[in-house]
Amino acid sequence: MIRDRLAQVQLAIMLLTRLPAGQLPDPAPGIGSAAWAFPLAGLAVGGGGALTLWAALALGLPPALGAGLAILTNLLLTGALHEDGLADLADGFWGGQTHEKRLEIMRDSRIGSYGTLALIVSIGLRWQALVYLAQANLDVTLVVMVVMAMTSRVAPAAVLAFVPPARSDGLGHSARATPPSGVAIAALIALVPGLLLDSVLLLPVLMAILCQAIVTVGLAKLAQRKLGGQTGDVLGASQQVAEIAGYLALCAVLAL
């Protein structure tokens, strides 16, 4: 049992990051069974970004540069996997008129105008949110970066569990056997770092997580309408949309 769980964590890290994770045992676990561990991959990514931000500010760099380097670290740790999904999704959603055409566009490795704009908006919003938070309270920001990285990775697990695949092949299809219990476990794991915050800050974080859940449901419904279900690109985009929503909601609440 423990060996199976460790293999699932290993698979989650291999799927969602570029970190070395060794070789999977034989037989390898299914992707759906490893969805509960997606937030643990987020822990590594968020922790790396937070460490970069802390080091940059400790060296005397301004928050804007520190936040930019933190995002760069996240991109290097994930290989821009989720950003790639967001770009493909944007091109497909608004570049085609039918399910089939949208799916065809999303398979194309070339990036279009919608995908380019989606990446600019995604990186720009996260960068500005980190600048705002770091200027307000660096210690809180470091914890928040880990929390947002973990909770946003519950989104693809939830989409896998509750949205049927749009294709008969690909990541979205191969990982379709994700149990709802795995989503619940992922959510509980993702909430753990938030407990490091005091009660005054915990409520804004919980509100941000609620916003993440709302936008994830919205994206899932949009994917069903536009594509007929989920794909690997939908999964990657769900992480991006959830993370952006979480940061924006948190900044909005703290600005009140």
pLDDT in tens, 178-215: 788 999 999 999 999 988 888 788 899 999 999 999 99
**Amino acid sitting at position 241:** V
236 pLDDT band, cuts 50/70/90, is very high
For residue 240, pLDDT over 90 is answered with: yes
Q: What is the pTM of this model?
A: 0.94
Taking the CA of residue 250 as centre, how many other CA atoms within 13 Å lie in the half-sphere pointing to its CB? 33
When pLDDT is cut at 50, 70 and 90, the band that residue 256 belongs to is confident
Statement: residue 96 has pLDDT above 90: no
Burial 115-142 (b: 16+ CB within 10 A, else e): beebbeebbebbbebbbbbbeeebebbb
Reported as a single tens digit per residue, the pLDDT across 120-174 is: 999 999 999 999 999 999 999 999 999 999 999 999 999 999 999 998 776 655 5
Q: Which has the higher per-residue pLDDT, 170 or 79?
A: 79
Q: Which residues pair with 165 in a beta bridge?
A: 230
Domain residue extents for the chain: 31-255
pLDDT for res 172: 54
When pLDDT is cut at 50, 70 and 90, the band that residue 175 belongs to is: low
In this prediction, residue 170 carries a pLDDT of: 61
Q: Are the beta carbons of 115 and 88 closer than 8 angstroms? A: yes
Distance CA 218, CA 207 (A): 17
* Average pLDDT of the residues in 5-13: 93
In the predicted model, what is the mean pLDDT of the chain?
93
CA angle, residues 84, 70, 213, in degrees to nearest 5: 60
Half-sphere exposure in the Cβ direction for 22 (13 Å, CA): 9
Tell me: pLDDT of 94 over 80. yes
Handedness of CA 117, 142, 63, 212 (dihedral sign): positive
| 49-78 per-position pLDDT tens digit | 999 999 999 999 999 999 999 999 999 999
Mean pLDDT computed over 86-108: 93
Given a cut of 90, whether residue 91 has pLDDT beyond it is yes
